[in-house]
Amino acid sequence: MWQPHLLVPFRDERHRISDVINGSCSGIGCCETSIPRNAYQYNISVTSYNDHHGIWGFNPCGYAFVAEDGFFSFSTDDLYKPPFDEVPIVLDWLIPNEKCDDAKKNTTTYMCRENSNCIDAENGDGYQCHCLEGFKGNPYLQNGCQDINECMTSQPCSGICTNSQGTYNCSCPGGYQGDGRKDGKGCTLIIHEKRFHSTDVALGVSISLLLILLGGSWLYWGLRQRKISRQREKFFLENGGRLMLQRLLSEHEGSVESVRIFTDEELKKATDHYHENRILGQGGQGTVYRGILPNNMVVAIKKAKILDRSQVETFINELIILSQINHRNVVKLIGCCFETEVPLLVYEFVTNGTLSDRIHNCRHESTLSWRARLRIAGETAVALSYLHNDASTQILHRDIKSTNILLDENYTAKVSDFGTSRLVPLDRMQLTTLVQGTLGYLDPEYFYTSQLTERSDVYSFGVVLAELLTGLRALSFERAENDRNLSLYFASAIKGERLFEIIDSRVLNEGNPEEIKQVAMLASRCLRVKGEDRPAMKEVAMELEGLMRVMERHPWVNQSCDLEEAEYLLGERSSKCDGILKSNASKIDDSISNQVPFEIGSGR
């Protein structure tokens, strides 16, 4: 509200300075009045009713000013000079010529912005804008009205204050009740009454039973895991464990570093808990599974089928043997597991099965060419020669047979299954052992004397050579009684000059008769009854390698017998081939025909 004040000197001689009252602007020395509403002009003039000559000795001037109502308090000192240079003025602002209802209809000219409202002006024809409650600022500007954070400014809550746009909320913390306001009920502590209802009892019983059940399950699981852990520890110790492995390997100057010790859980996961679709093969001693390790390496895992504590010794023996061998034609041992009743062995995975499958399974009848058979024989001979002559300690395999010769993706031979193998001390030429091996491949001299020598492996290899040449099994009850044993049948055919009658048809079609005869003569030398009459494995390997080199340099062109003659040999032999056989039959040692047959039982 504007308030004009008039300060004038005394012109009337009837008034004296003593008549002026401090703080009163009632007309003596000072007067004031309000500017009326709806006034568009207001003039102020100061006049004197008497001449100036009657003025006393104070300020002869008068002055006027406009100020906010209540700003000025009169004093006699103000008659001598103005008490200030500036005064506050409050303007009564309005948007003219429109009422709120009309102004809101025209959104382009309406002046009130967000968070404000419109009020018809009391002073004049127009409207005013005011910020809403809880906001402050200039309602005529964009974003002019801003939220007031009452929680920070006035702190209206005795409990928890939560600010929001234009207002605030009060609440009480946990354990208290009330509205949380200072001007309201505030917050008071909640006092709980102990009341037991049937639902509370049922809930308590249910929770207790659940806890008991969970506790019992946890206890059972813990005891079961403890039992399994103790059982694994027991098996680990009974099976030799790491200490036994280290001790045995150290005795034979081996190394345990290259052999990985697997846990039972690792191998179960690798084989999908030994699922039947992971079986690669089954034998008398156990089952071989295909496993996939976490690094995606494919392995073969050998698991015993029958619980026999004597198999532990076989397991440890194979572990010791293979840990000392590093040869491309010997299957590689990757690791082992001691945590099961009978230990497990983990080998490299060899993709194409056994040599026996490729020779005798009709599905693979055409997969092995003559050249491939000769190469496999040479690689097997090289591996056995390495075991006999080049290993740190001489190793006798003792169970050479076509099922223990594996073939990889390139049909490279890999000698496997060293469970019955033996290490021969440097000062020994032979070992006296309990006879072990597979009938049909077993050295007759070793069978009768129990004296194991490196020539026992030579005999078994001779049977494998005969299998490669003939495609016949080492032991078959489908043949005549005198021909069930392949070694005797093979020797009889050579002696009777019927070799080409028993040779596999594919070998006849692809091989040169002279070449076939040369391999047959080598096989017959390996099958001699007396071990001392057999060639050493190193000699056998060199002879087979020599044949392969000749084949690579000079492919056979049927110089001795052409293909037609070879096919004719399936029936009646040509005189040319007949002559070849006759000229060489005299070179065959008579001991072939003098082999002593021994009782044939079931194979190993």
Q: Give the pLDDT band of residue 567 (cuts 50, 70, 90).
A: very low
pTM for the predicted model, two decimal places = 0.55
Q: Give the pLDDT band of residue 186 (cuts 50, 70, 90).
A: confident
286 closest CA partner among 267, 307, 264, 268: 307
Tokens of 343: 């230990």
Cα–Cα distance between 289 and 287 in angstroms, integer? 6
Asked if residue 329 has pLDDT above 80, the reply is yes
User: Residue 286 in 3-state DSSP?
Assistant: strand
| DSSP secondary structure string for all residues of 360-412 | H-GGGTTT--HHHHHHHHHHHHHHHHIIIIISSSEEE-S---GGGEEE-TT--
- Average pLDDT for 139-162: 91
Percent of the chain with pLDDT over 70: 76
Query: Would you kindly state where each structural domain of the chain is located, as residue ranges?
Result: 1-91, 95-147, 151-189, 241-348, 355-592
Exposed, middle or buried by CB within 10 Å (0-12, 13-18, 19+), for 523?
Answer: buried
- Find all residues with CB under 8 Å of 400, minimum gap 6, and list them: 380, 384, 415, 441, 457, 460, 461, 464
Q: Which residue has the higher pLDDT, 4 or 433?
A: 433
CATH 3.50.50.60 fits 241-348, yes or no: no
Asked if residue 64 has pLDDT above 70, the reply is yes
- Average pLDDT for 99-128: 90
- For 377-418, the pLDDT digits (tens) are 999 999 999 999 988 888 999 999 999 999 999 999 999 988
* CATH number for the domain formed by residue range(s) 95-147: 2.10.25
- Average pLDDT for 464-469: 96
- Find all residues with CB under 8 Å of 517, minimum gap 6, and list them: 499, 580, 581, 584
CA-angle at 24, arms to 22 and 29, nearest 5°: 80
- For 11-42, the pLDDT digits (tens) are 344 456 677 778 888 777 788 888 877 777 77
Asked if residue 443 has pLDDT above 90, the reply is yes
What is the b/e burial string over 155-165, where b = at least 16 CB atoms within 10 angstroms of the residue's CB? eebbbebebee
User: Residue 246 in 3-state DSSP?
Assistant: helix
466 closest CA partner among 494, 437, 486, 445: 486
Checking DSSP bridges between strand 2-7 and strand 63-68, what pairing results, if any?
antiparallel
566 closest CA partner among 498, 491, 494, 505: 505
Cα–Cα distance between 419 and 345 in angstroms, integer? 11
- Average pLDDT for 502-512: 91
Q: Which residues pair with 188 in a beta bridge?
A: 177
Asked if residue 314 has pLDDT above 60, the reply is yes
- Find all residues with CB under 8 Å of 594, minimum gap 6, and list them: 529
Enumerate the active-site residues: 399
- Give me the amino acid identity at 253: E
What is the structure's pLDDT at 48? 63
What is the third-level CATH fold of 355-592?
A: Transferase(Phosphotransferase); domain 1 (1.10.510)
Q: Give the pLDDT band of residue 236 (cuts 50, 70, 90).
A: low
